[in-house]
Chains A and B, each alone.
Chain A
Amino acid sequence: MLGGGFAADLPQVIDHMHLFEAIRLALSQLRVQKLKSFFTLLGVTISVMFLIAVVSIVEGMNKYVEQDFAAKFLGVNVFNVRRFPDINTDVTEAEWRAWQRRPKILPADGLAIKAALPPEASFALQDIMWATGSSEFRNGGPQVLAQAVTPEFFRIKNLVIDKGRAFTDLDEAMGSNVVVVGVEIASFYFPNLDPIGRELRINKFPFRIIGVLEKQGSVFGLNLDRQVMAPFQSYMANITRARQNLYGVVVQAPNTAQLENAKEIVREVMRNRHRLRPGQPDDFVFETSESALASWQGIRKFLILAGMLLPAIGLVVGAIVIMNIMLVAVAERTREIGIRKSIGAKRRDILAQFLVESATLSIVGALLGVGFGIALSQGVAAVSPLPATVAPWSVALAVIVGAGVGIVAGAYPASRAARLDPIFAMRQE
């Protein structure tokens, strides 16, 4: 009965009045047996609930990574030139050793890059080392992220100074031993005091504090409020050993369109300086927010797929339950089906009636699951560090899946109902 003939008459069967009638009928059947209907729906509801919750949490993490992490940590239209990738997973032993053999990046490389870049591009040198801090009030404490940077660094990375000021080109030129510190450094080493003008020792070497950064927060466990930044030409470069092995060169293109172009310019310069022949791969890396995000996107796709697997199994179970309940419904309403046929219901009328009923049932289950799923993901977000954003595509998917499951599950019972002989059916019970 589900052949070409059926499809050709579809518009007639699903004219809006008929469909509305059928849905109304289906909903009234649901209302009559609330508890039984609820248990029927349980499979679909729970599966959809987990689907929505998992997707919400993963999408929440995605939003966080893309917006907070990428923008804050890496900057906009920015790339770093490094010796080897900073954010890495799945590195083999061999790869690691190959990386160690790469030539170190030097300040001279940075200057060559600067010379080659168009004037609208921004440029900074950056070197990092973990160091120990101390002040007249406090010694030791957790390690400090000591950095030697050129002044452009603040602008490129969008670092906002809360108190005092950043250092200028003059400070840089004079190699002044001044520092800008993060809020935790200020409060840890100078509790309840104004740190501006005071002396902070990094690895026992004195620096004068000229500025305090706005609160940054943490990114994937790295506390950005324990940073200390000094001009590149100051003694900080000695502490971090910048002249022997530079952490990286930071380049910012004036806009997204020019980003690729800037990368190519820098690539040329570096390959030249490292005397690489054409055909030889780069022995340095570019880190953009894309590359950092790439490994996250891989994780995200995997999490979503895994998170869909269990609900998928749950939906199969849910479909089987619905099918069985519909078979029972058809058996219980055999006489009713006979009556309907005797007054003129065609096979496809009966088929449509039961298909709409099982689809309605399933969609109601899916909507309940969406509601519970949203509640569950909000709950998880409230009690754990995981964020949650409800993704509209997952809600639409859940409803479509709900309808699909209902139709598939109801197909066999509905076709049995449609094929009942009216005389036989009316004799039942």
Chain B
Amino acid sequence: MAEIPVGATAERQVVLGDTGAAPDKKWIIVTRGIKREYDMGGEIVRALRGIDLAIGRNEYVAIMGPSGSGKSTLMNVIGCLDTPNAGEYWLNGQQVAHMTDDELARIRNKEIGFVFQTFNLLPRATALHNVELPLVYAGVSSVERRKRAQEALESVALGDRMDHRPNELSGGQRQRVAIARALVNRPSILLADEPTGNLDSQTSAEIMKVFEQLADNGQTVIMVTHEADIAAHARRVVVLRDGIIHSDDRREAFAAKVGL
């Protein structure tokens, strides 16, 4: 597991590597100087002002920050939903920052699994079909698809609800379907955006347990949240403020800082 002590710029530079050079294989995500700006009616909003980040394989990282900190923008960049204006983004050894739309779509399909706050399931499709969808776009045959989707649903304890539609499932169950869908293509990273935002505290706890189990089993998990106590579930917490990294601590240090 990687440690990047805050302030140790020299060490950070070693980890990140030289500009343009592929980073060491043990880092699944490396960003160098990521900048993202928007033109909002004449005024330029600088959402990300130079993000240098390295995340290793099998890490369980929380990206935390208040609204306006740029955490959602960073998540969109990491998730290949958005491209930065400047900087490099290396995902699993590939330079991703300036890929075409089609290439990004392929990366989203194969390398990234998304879990959203509002679940984002197709309302008129069954749980099984929702989970199959990434495999449809990957061109997997229908027999193989069904098998893998079933396995994914069983792994989140929803094997008996495969033919239910989202409106027939509880919030916790919907989020599990979303997690199964995110995992079905065996992605490099699981990216979760406020996954418990729409859940009650008990269900939230259950879902956080699911993420913990996945992380224990070797999945790289990146969770974006504005709640400190959710962030403290992860093993490393990166705090963003005003578009740059404010702090980057292991769980214990972070918890101590915020008084948990």
Which of A's residues lie within 8 Å of B, judged by CB? 12, 15, 17-18, 21, 28, 32, 335-336, 339-349, 422-423, 426
Q: Which one of B62-70, B84-92, B107-115, B156-164 is at the interface? A: B107-115
The residue in chain A whose Cβ has the minimal distance to the Cβ of B119 is A339
Q: How far is the CA of A21 from the CA of B136 in the complex (A)?
A: 9
For A342, give its contact among B108, B124, B138, B141 (CB under 8 Å): B108
Q: When A and B form their complex, which 7 residue pairs have the shortest distance between CB atoms, in order from nearest? A: A344-B109, A346-B105, A344-B137, A343-B134, A339-B120, A344-B108, A346-B102
Q: Given contacts A17-B142, A341-B108, A343-B114, list 17 more A-B pairs with CB under 8 A.
A: A17-B141, A18-B139, A32-B124, A339-B122, A340-B137, A341-B105, A342-B108, A343-B108, A343-B137, A344-B105, A344-B109, A344-B137, A344-B138, A345-B137, A346-B106, A347-B102, A349-B105
Is B76 an interface residue, CB under 8 A from the partner? yes
Decide if A426 touches B120 in the complex (CB within 8 Å). Answer: yes
Chain A residues within an 8 Å CB radius of B134 = 343-344
Inter-chain contact B101/A347, CB cutoff 8 Å:
yes
Cα separation A341 to B79 with both chains bound (whole Å): 12
Which of B76, B139, B181 contacts A343 (CB under 8 A)? B181
A344 and B76 contact, Cβ closer than 8 Å, known pairs A21-B136, A32-B124: no
Cβ-defined partner of B122 (8 Å) among A12, A17, A336, A344: A336
Q: How far, in whole Å, are A17 and B121 apart by their CA atoms in the complex?
A: 22
Q: How far apart are the CA atoms of A348 and B102 in the complex, in Å?
A: 9
In the complex, which of the residues A18, A340, A343 has the most CB atoms of chain B within 10 Å of its own CB atom? Answer: A343
CB of A15 to closest CB in B, whole Å: 7
Could you tell me the distance between the alpha carbons of A282 and B49 in the complex, rounded to whole angstroms? 97
A-contacting residues of B (Cβ < 8 Å)?
Answer: 76, 79, 81-82, 101-102, 105-106, 108-110, 114, 116, 120-122, 124, 133-134, 136-139, 141-142, 181, 185
B110–A344 CB distance below 8 A: yes
A117 CB to closest chain B CB, in angstroms?
74
Q: How close is A9's CB to chain B, nearest CB, in angstroms?
A: 9
Q: Find the residue from B76, B105, B114 having the highest chain A CB count within 10 A.
A: B105
- B residues within 8 A CB of A347? 101-102, 105
23 contacts between A and B (CB under 8 A): A12-B139, A21-B136, A336-B122, A339-B121, A339-B122, A340-B133, A341-B108, A342-B108, A342-B120, A343-B109, A343-B133, A343-B137, A344-B105, A344-B106, A344-B108, A344-B110, A344-B137, A345-B105, A346-B101, A346-B105, A348-B102, A349-B105, A349-B137
CB neighbours (8 Å) of A345 from chain B are 105, 137
- Chain B residues contacting A18 (CB-CB under 8 Å) are 136, 139
* Nearest opposing residue in chain B for A342, CB measure: B114
Nearest CB to that of B182 among chain A residues?
A: A343
Closest chain B residue to A338, Cβ basis:
B120
B183 to chain A, nearest CB (A): 12
Q: How far is the CA of A369 from the CA of B234 in the complex (A)?
A: 61
Q: Which residues of A contact B106 (CB under 8 A)?
A: 344, 346
Shortest C-beta distance, B167 to chain A (Å), equals 14
Complex Cα gap A316–B97 (Å): 45
Q: Which residue of A lies closest to B120 (CB)?
A: A339
In the bound assembly, the distance between CA atoms of A340 and B76 in angstroms comes to 15
A336: chain B residues at CB < 8 Å are 122
Which chain B residues lie closer than 8 Å to A348 at the CB level? 102
Q: Please, which residues of chain A bring their CB within 8 A of the CB of B133?
A: 340, 343
